[in-house]
């Protein structure tokens, strides 16, 4: 039984591919690729539990990898794709690798996965995410004004993206609101302070 029923977008047909976003983000992160992938695959982009439009875990349930993998595996079954291919970024990449180590997916493509930090990089990365979370607490009018200006979008986006100028005002505002409202953010960050990927994986 799933811990949460994950909100998701789905399109296409064929081999199932599930796209997992990073911490504080939302399924719309995959929009630049979603329709292109759907031309060849059955593509599913969920909001992870407590992020985007997905409900958080029940009270008292920790945001650890065991629960993330169990929750996603149950949702895979509900979607009719028990062992899909998974593509994940950051937190999503780490979850993907954990799913792979447990034999719950057909393959994993991990983009900048969490779980391979040195101590300095770990606190630097989590500190930057915490800073972004703090700035997302601004009132909506202030966020709309800030995300309206390309220079501000570039300055903020450069903390996470190689090409922040590709983000438009609407997307940047939506990301900020999603980050602000993510109930799983702090529990996930606290888990990230201790998390290291320790399993073996087969790399082709």
| CA 150 to the chain's CA centroid | 24
Mean pLDDT of 2-19: 94
CATH number at residue 145: 3.40.50.1820
pLDDT score of 92: 97
**CB atoms closer than 10 angstroms to residue 187:** 17
pLDDT at residue 1 greater than cutoff 70? no
What is the domain count for the chain? 1
pLDDT tens readout for residues 85-109: 999 999 999 999 999 999 999 999 9
- Residue 52's region, left for phi above 0, alpha for psi from -120 to 50, else beta, is left
- The answer to whether 93 and 18 have CB atoms below 8 angstroms apart is no
**Alpha-carbon distance 128 to 16, whole Å?**
33
Mean pLDDT of 24-30: 95
The shares of helix, strand and coil residues in the chain, as percent rounded to the nearest 5, are 45, 10, 40
pLDDT score of 122: 86
pLDDT score of 24: 92
- pLDDT band, residue 203 (cuts 50/70/90): confident
**Confidence (pTM):** 0.92
pLDDT score of 117: 84
Structural domain for 184, as ranges: 1-203
């Amino acid at each position: 039984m799933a811990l949460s029923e994950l909100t998701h977008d789905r399109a296409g047909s064929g081999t199932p591919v599930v796209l997992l976003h990073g911490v504080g983000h939302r399924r719309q992160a995959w929009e630049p690729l979603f329709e292109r992938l759907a031309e060849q695959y059955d593509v599913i982009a969920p909001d992870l539990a407590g992020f985007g439009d997905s409900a958080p875990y029940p009270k008292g349930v920790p945001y650890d990898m065991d629960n993330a993998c169990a929750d996603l595996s149950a949702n895979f079954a509900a979607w009719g794709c028990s062992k899909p291919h998974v593509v994940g970024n950051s937190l999503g990449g780490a979850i993907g690798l954990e799913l792979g180590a447990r034999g719950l997916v057909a393959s994993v493509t991990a983009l900048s996965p969490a779980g391979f930090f040195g101590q300095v990089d770990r606190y630097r990365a989590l500190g930057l995410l915490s800073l972004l979370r703090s700035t997302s607490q601004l009132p909506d009018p202030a966020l709309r004004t800030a995300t309206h200006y390309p220079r501000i979008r570039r300055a903020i986006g450069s903390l996470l993206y190689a090409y922040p100028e590709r983000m438009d005002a609407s997307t940047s505002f939506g990301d900020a609101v999603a980050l602000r409202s993510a109930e799983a953010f702090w529990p996930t960050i606290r888990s990230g302070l201790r998390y290291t990927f320790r399993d073996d994986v087969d790399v082709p």
